[in-house]
């Protein structure tokens, strides 16, 4: 398996790569370490992604409760699974996994926000009540991570227009938005409505949504 040559970027260092078999395909897992925080960020790649053509891509922020603990309060775990499944079906693509839990506020504060939501706040109101921005995520690490693989244009799997704007401001072209819609359930329905109404997420499908379990 060919390994990318280690590179040093202004914001982070590439460290190592290894094979990562999944239920959908055998990806290659790559690790990067952020200079400012020491956080370890990941990329999962499949196929020839450095040929200059726009690459099917997902920029996914860490959600331990959704990605690992199967929480139904959000759509994060289902979107992660759906993105990897789509990349595998296409045979080519990349997923960046950024360590910015809870839209950038951290795991404990996300749990505090959940408590406020249980008392009647929505996800935006809860973050603001705790003294945080509605969405504190930062995508500046994406550009050097994509550049490491020779990627400068994306077919980006997202429902979030702010993520598209962030990529464009970093000089990464988004040639196509690929919707990544998952089925609603009784626990995430209000959350998804808030993402659409207050955060501008585009929840109307342009193509067939990802078929996953958990339909409302």
Q: How far apart are CA 158 and CA 80, in angstroms?
A: 11
Say if residues 55 and 110 touch (Cβ distance below 8 Å): no
Q: Does 62 carry a binding-site annotation?
A: yes
**Radius of gyration over every alpha carbon of the chain, rounded to an integer in angstroms:** 17
Q: Does 101 carry a binding-site annotation?
A: yes
The pLDDT value recorded for residue 197 is: 65
Q: How far apart are CA 154 and CA 161, in angstroms?
A: 14
Q: Does residue 57 surpass a pLDDT of 90?
A: yes
The pLDDT value recorded for residue 195 is: 64
Cα 9 to Cα 36, 52, 95, 148, 154, distances in angstroms: 12, 20, 19, 9, 20
Q: Please report the domains of the chain, with CATH numbers, ordered by start residue.
A: 12-100+141-198 (3.40.50.10990), 104-136 (no CATH)
CA 131 to chain centroid, in Å, comes to: 24
Please provide the average confidence, as pLDDT, over all residues in the chain.
Answer: 85
Q: pTM here?
A: 0.85
Q: Active-site residues: which are they?
A: 135, 137
Q: Does residue 94 surpass a pLDDT of 80?
A: yes
pLDDT tens figures, 28-40: 999 999 999 999 9
Q: Does 34 carry a binding-site annotation?
A: no
- How much is the average pLDDT of 130-156? 90
Of 204 and 172, the structure prediction assigns the larger pLDDT to 172
The pLDDT value recorded for residue 199 is: 56
The pLDDT value recorded for residue 124 is: 85
Q: Does 102 carry a binding-site annotation?
A: yes
Q: Does residue 120 surpass a pLDDT of 50?
A: yes
Backbone φ and ψ for 29, nearest 5 degrees, come out as: -100, 130
């Amino acid at each position: 398996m060919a390994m990318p040559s280690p590179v040093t970027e202004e914001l982070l260092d590439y460290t190592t790569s290894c094979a990562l078999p999944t239920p959908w395909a055998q990806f290659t897992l790559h690790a990067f370490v952020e200079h400012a925080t020491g956080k370890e960020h990941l990329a999962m790649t499949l196929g020839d992604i450095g040929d200059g053509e726009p690459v099917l891509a997902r920029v996914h922020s860490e959600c331990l409760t959704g990605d690992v603990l199967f929480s139904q309060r959000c759509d994060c775990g289902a979107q992660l699974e759906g993105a990897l499944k789509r990349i595998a079906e296409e045979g080519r693509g990349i997923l960046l996994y950024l360590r910015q839990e809870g839209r950038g506020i951290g795991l404990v504060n996300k749990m505090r926000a959940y408590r406020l939501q249980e008392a009647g706040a929505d996800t935006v109101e809860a973050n603001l009540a705790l003294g945080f921005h509605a969405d504190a995520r930062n995508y500046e690490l994406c550009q050097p991570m994509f550049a490491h693989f020779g990627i400068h244009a994306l077919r980006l799997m997202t429902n979030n227009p702010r993520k598209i704007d962030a990529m464009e401001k970093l000089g990464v072209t988004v040639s196509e938005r690929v919707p990544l819609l998952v089925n609603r359930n009784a626990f995430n329905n209000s959350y998804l409505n808030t993402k659409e109404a207050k955060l501008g997420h585009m929840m109307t499908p342009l193509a067939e949504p990802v078929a996953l379990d958990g339909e409302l």
